[in-house]
Amino acid sequence: MSLRRKTTLYICIILVSFVLISIMVIYHESNKILQNEAERYMESQLERVNENVKLLLNNIVLETEKLSYDSKIDSYFSGKSSLEGTGIYLASLMKTMNQTQPLFMDLFLVDLNGIIVSAAMEEAIGVDVSSRAYFQKTIESNIANTSDIILSRADNTQIIITLAPTTNGNDIVIGYTGIAIYATYFSNFLDNFSIKDSSKYIIIDSFDKIVSHPNKKLISSKFDYHGYPKDEFKSIRSIVTDNGSYQVIVRNLHFNDWKVISYLKDSDIYSKSIELSYKFLYIGIVFIVIAIGLGIYAIDVISKPIVKITESINRIIEDEKRFQTNMIQHLPFDYLINSETDNDESMDSTEVSNFRKAILGFKSILEQGAKNFDLEYNQLKIYLDSLYFEIGSINNRNLDFIATLSHDIRTPLTLIKGYARGLESGDITDEAMKKKFESGIVKSSNDIENLVYNVLDFAYEVNLNSSYQMKLYEVDYVIKEIVFELKQLYENKITMEVDDFSVDSNKVLIDLMNIKRVITNLVNNSVKYTNLLDLVRIRISNSDEGIHFEIYDEGIGIKGEELSRIFELFYRTFESKDKKGYGLGLYISNQILINHEAELICNSVYGEYTSMKFFLKYKNICI
């Protein structure tokens, strides 16, 4: 569908929706207004009906009372005259009354026993009304009373009777006068107020019997309140019956508990708003037709440039897509390499060719960058992993060191405590024993002091230049000192191969005590990790540049991957864990040698041998 058609369609849909929504709103709003209006109308009509019915009933009461004062009747009840002619008199009186409104069915006289003694309607004479409620009420109240709807005992007509007492000069009741009216009269009467098929009125008596109904057949039947409970019915506003739905209002007549019920048909209320909505719909359709015409014209004028712009944009997008597809097809690297020598006519523009090259170059830079990034990322990961592992192992080494140290300090401390307690208790009286305890304390204290100095202080001091006593020594002197000390320590059990240095006048600048410490450390290790002294060999050889030391053993050896680590602080190989140590000896030795501008070199084959070498350079200058 073209854009123009689409736009027209949209505008039409909007206009039609607008008109339909407006119709609905108008219908709804007018309904509300009309319903209120209808309610008010019903209320006022009902008021009128109420008033008129009340007036009618009160009139009958007045007529009855007037009849009770009639002189002819009074003279009969006072016993002044006989009944003769009374019936004819009442009949002529009723005839006259019916001329104004044809509602009277009978005028009659009742004696004090409740027997009708005279009546306009002959059939009524002799009827006993003493059991009727209106008769009872009149006797009790001594005023006129009106009955609910009843059936005449004389001819089964539906009637309503009003009975008034007749009194003598001393206000003593001497008889009763009654007037019966046709119930159907009310229906005719109310027809004047009803609008045919649209509104109607029903009157019900205190026993809910219908007194008046547009359908006279229903008179005297029980009103069913449309299935609602009687009390709730007062507030019911909407009723659905077989003849349609109605708005209903109920009012008390304030006469014998009678009620007037007013009905107004819903369709009549809503017909007006439907009428209004139809009118609006016609106008709306005309409006839509005009609007569509105008819309088409306006769209023609407005949409032209819009359509043009949209088409252009679409074309650009299409071109862009085509260009991208071409790029993808033509841009692969091998093509570009070929294209430098290719004379393809499609590559007629050098700018395009250069642009492609630039993009490819950029692409390869990006690819290279991504590769490098990958590489660096992996390296970093490996480095971090090893760092993580390293931190973990350093931590473990520190813990091992602390555990060993604390054990070594605790042993002499326990001894000191034991000796001290012994002395303190005063139980030891033997002087020799006392001496032994005292020297035990001194020895254990020395052990702790040595431990602290050798292990802790020394590990710290070894890095300080100031703690070295560097002196220039004759090489022969140095060698003799070292050999002497080793022999003292190992009682000639270790094989020593020592060159002759006695003819040499070379000198070395060293801290002799520390160099001796290095050698002792290395020999101790060899002994410790070999167990057999005769598998340890020391070699001190002479060269033009200096002295070569090698301590060699055929012990447990060190694994290749650990060789670079054994000089680290606290580092101990797994295999050496069953031997006591702090992992300090090689660290200290190496630090001492670094301070002598020398270094410790370790060669080992795991399970076969270990060789530790270092070299001290001659310093043949006088200082």
> Which residues form the interface with ligand ADP (CB under 6 A)?
525-526, 529, 553, 555-558, 566, 571-573, 576, 581-587, 610
Task: Determine contact, residues 168/177, Cβ cutoff 8 Å.
Answer: no
Q: Which is nearer to ligand ADP, 261 or 556 (CB)?
A: 556
Strand 244-252 with 507-510, pairing: unpaired
Q: Which is nearer to ligand ADP, 158 or 526 (CB)?
A: 526
Which residues, in sequence order, are bridge partners of residue 158?
151
Q: Which is nearer to ligand ADP, 303 or 610 (CB)?
A: 610
Question: H/E/C letters for each residue in 89-109?
Answer: HHHHHHHHHHHHCCCEEEEEE
Tally Cβ neighbours within 10 Å of residue 436: 13
Whole-angstrom distance, CA of residue 377 vs CA of residue 373: 6
Task: Determine contact, residues 109/75, Cβ cutoff 8 Å.
Answer: no
Q: At what angle do helices 266-330 and 3-68 cross, to 10 degrees?
A: 160
Distance of closest approach, residue 495 Cβ to ligand ADP, in angstroms: 15
Distance of closest approach, residue 575 Cβ to ligand ADP, in angstroms: 7
Q: Which is nearer to ligand ADP, 206 or 454 (CB)?
A: 454
Q: Which is nearer to ligand ADP, 321 or 493 (CB)?
A: 493
Tally Cβ neighbours within 10 Å of residue 349: 9
What six digits make up the tokens of 393? 């192992």
Distance of closest approach, residue 471 Cβ to ligand ADP, in angstroms: 26
Distance of closest approach, residue 583 Cβ to ligand ADP, in angstroms: 5
Distance of closest approach, residue 468 Cβ to ligand ADP, in angstroms: 20
Distance of closest approach, residue 477 Cβ to ligand ADP, in angstroms: 27
Distance of closest approach, residue 566 Cβ to ligand ADP, in angstroms: 4
Distance of closest approach, residue 568 Cβ to ligand ADP, in angstroms: 9
Q: Which is nearer to ligand ADP, 77 or 582 (CB)?
A: 582
Q: Which is nearer to ligand ADP, 45 or 525 (CB)?
A: 525
The C-alpha torsion from 485 through 486 and 489 to 492, rounded to 10°, is -120
Distance of closest approach, residue 392 Cβ to ligand ADP, in angstroms: 19
Task: Determine contact, residues 281/75, Cβ cutoff 8 Å.
Answer: no
Give the H/E segment covering residue 389.
Answer: helix 350-425
Pinpoint the alpha helices (H) of 426-511: 431-450, 458-461, 475-490
What residues have CB less than 8 Å from 520, skipping those under 6 apart?
485, 486, 489
**In the block, residue with structure tokens 């009747």:** 73
Sheet order of strands, 536-542 included: 495-498, 536-542, 546-553, 609-617, 601-605
Q: Which is nearer to ligand ADP, 566 or 616 (CB)?
A: 566
Whole-angstrom distance, CA of residue 199 vs CA of residue 191: 10
Distance of closest approach, residue 592 Cβ to ligand ADP, in angstroms: 12
Q: Which is nearer to ligand ADP, 171 or 574 (CB)?
A: 574
Q: Which is nearer to ligand ADP, 114 or 583 (CB)?
A: 583
What residues have CB less than 8 Å from 622, skipping those under 6 apart?
none
Task: Determine contact, residues 516/538, Cβ cutoff 8 Å.
Answer: no
Distance of closest approach, residue 412 Cβ to ligand ADP, in angstroms: 19
What six digits make up the tokens of 572? 């101990």
What six digits make up the tokens of 233? 């019915």
Distance of closest approach, residue 560 Cβ to ligand ADP, in angstroms: 13
End-to-end CA separation in angstroms for the chain: 108
Q: Which is nearer to ligand ADP, 161 or 584 (CB)?
A: 584
Q: Which is nearer to ligand ADP, 185 or 529 (CB)?
A: 529
Q: Which is nearer to ligand ADP, 149 or 556 (CB)?
A: 556
Question: H/E/C letters for each residue in 28-85?
Answer: HHHHHHHHHHHHHHHHHHHHHHHHHHHHHHHHHHHHHHHHHCCHHHHHHHCCCCCCCC
Distance of closest approach, residue 579 Cβ to ligand ADP, in angstroms: 7
Distance of closest approach, residue 623 Cβ to ligand ADP, in angstroms: 33
Q: Which residue is nearest to ligand ADP (CB)?
A: 581
- The DSSP secondary-structure symbol of 153 reads T
Distance of closest approach, residue 452 Cβ to ligand ADP, in angstroms: 16
Tally Cβ neighbours within 10 Å of residue 310: 12
Whole-angstrom distance, CA of residue 392 vs CA of residue 321: 58
User: Can you say whether residue 219 is alpha, beta or left, with left for phi > 0 and alpha for psi between -120 and 50 degrees?
Assistant: beta
What six digits make up the tokens of 570? 């606290």
- Half-sphere exposure (Cβ direction) of 406: Cα atoms closer than 13 Å: 6
Pinpoint the alpha helices (H) of 331-349: 333-339
Secondary structure of residue 184 in the 3-state scheme: helix
Task: Determine contact, residues 486/494, Cβ cutoff 8 Å.
Answer: yes
Q: Which is nearer to ligand ADP, 462 or 584 (CB)?
A: 584
Q: Which is nearer to ligand ADP, 67 or 527 (CB)?
A: 527
